[in-house]
Amino acid sequence: MAVPQWQGYAMNVLLIGPPGSGKGTQGDRLAERLNVAHIAAGDLLRDEVENGTPLGERVGELMRKGDLVPDAVIISLLMPRVLAAADRNGYLLDGFPRSVEQAVEARKLAEMASAGPDAVIYLDVPREELSRRILARADVEGRSDDNPETVRNRLKVFDEATHPLVEYYRERGLLHVVNADQDEDAVTAEIMSALESVG
Ligand code: AMP
Per-residue pLDDT of 120-131, as tens digits, reads 999 999 999 998
pLDDT digits (tens, 9 = 90+) for 141-190: 888 888 889 999 999 999 999 999 999 999 999 999 999 999 999 999 99
Q: Please report the pLDDT score of residue 20 as a whole number.
A: 94
Tell me what pLDDT residue 79 has. 96
* Spatial separation of the C-alpha atoms in residues 32 and 55, rounded to whole Å: 29
Return the pLDDT at 7. 54
Is 99 part of a structural domain of the chain?
yes
Ligand 1 binding pocket (C-beta < 6 A) is: 19, 41-42, 45, 62-63, 66-69, 74, 95-98, 102, 145, 154
Structure confidence at residue 62 (pLDDT): 98
What is the CB neighbour count within 10 angstroms for residue 52?
A: 10
Residue 148 within a domain? yes
Q: Judge whether 146 lies within some domain.
A: yes
Give pLDDT, residue 143: 84
Q: Mean pLDDT of all residues in the chain?
A: 93
Asked, for residue 131, whether it belongs to a domain, the answer is: yes
Q: What is the pTM of this model?
A: 0.93
Does 80 fall in a domain? Answer: yes
At 5, the pLDDT band (50, 70, 90 cuts) reads very low
Compute the distance from residue 45 Cα to the ligand 1 centre, in Å. 7
Within-domain flag for 2: no
Q: What is the largest CA-CA distance in the chain?
A: 48
Q: What is the CATH number for 81? A: 3.40.50.300
In a domain, 3, yes or no: no
Q: How many domains does the chain have?
A: 1
Domain with 143, as residue range(s), is: 11-193
pLDDT at 135: 85
What integer pLDDT is reported at residue 196 of this predicted model?
A: 93
Does any domain span residue 1?
no
Task: Report CA(68)–ligand 1 centroid distance (Å).
Answer: 6
